[in-house]
Amino acid sequence: MIVCVAHNIISPLGSTTAENYAAVKSGKSALRKYNGLWSLPEPFVASLLDRNAFTDDRYTIDEQIVITSISKALENTDIDVKSSKVLFIISTTKGNVFLLDKRENGFPQERVRLGMMAREVTKHFGNPNEPIVVSNACISGVCAQIEAMRYLENGEYDYVVVCGVDVQSAFIVSGFQSFKALSPEECKPFDANRCGLNLGDAAATIIYTKKDEVSENEWVACRGSIRNDANHISGPSRVGEGSFRALRVALGDLKPEKLALINAHGTATLYNDEMESIAIERAGLAGVPVNSLKGYYGHTMGAAGVLETIISMQAVDDHNILGTRGFDTLGVTHPLDISNQNRATEKRAFIKLLSGFGGCNAALLMEKGGLK
Residues in contact with another protein by CB under 8 A are: 39, 41, 93-95, 97, 100-102, 112-116, 118-119, 130-137, 143, 147, 149-151, 153-154, 170-171, 174-180, 225-235, 241-242, 245, 249, 356-360
What is the nearest approach in angstroms of another protein to the Cβ of residue 221? Answer: 13
Which lies closer to another protein via its Cβ, residue 52 or residue 106?
106
Torsional sign, CA 290, 295, 299, 304: negative
Which lies closer to another protein via its Cβ, residue 20 or residue 91?
91
8 Å CB contact between 89 and 136:
no
What is the nearest approach in angstroms of another protein to the Cβ of residue 181? Answer: 9
Which lies closer to another protein via its Cβ, residue 109 or residue 215?
109
What is the nearest approach in angstroms of another protein to the Cβ of residue 94? Answer: 7
What is the nearest approach in angstroms of another protein to the Cβ of residue 216? Answer: 26
* Cα(204)–Cα(214) distance, integer angstroms: 24
Which lies closer to another protein via its Cβ, residue 20 or residue 309?
309
CA distances for 115 relative to 87, 109, 225, angstroms: 14, 13, 24
Which lies closer to another protein via its Cβ, residue 235 or residue 335?
235
What is the nearest approach in angstroms of another protein to the Cβ of residue 256? Answer: 19
8 Å CB contact between 325 and 266:
no
What is the nearest approach in angstroms of another protein to the Cβ of residue 79? Answer: 22
Which lies closer to another protein via its Cβ, residue 115 or residue 287?
115
Vertex 37 angle, CA 32 and 40, to 5°: 115
* Cα(107)–Cα(101) distance, integer angstroms: 12
* Cα(90)–Cα(204) distance, integer angstroms: 10
26: which residues sit within 8 A by CB, 6+ positions away?
none
* Cα(117)–Cα(110) distance, integer angstroms: 9
3-state secondary structure of 105: coil
Helix 17-25 and helix 304-317: axis angle, to 10°? 70
What is the nearest approach in angstroms of another protein to the Cβ of residue 74? Answer: 23
Which lies closer to another protein via its Cβ, residue 241 or residue 316?
241
Identify the bridge partners of residue 2 per DSSP, sorted by sequence position.
Answer: 210, 221
Name the residue among 265, 285, 325 with its Cα closest to residue 137: 265
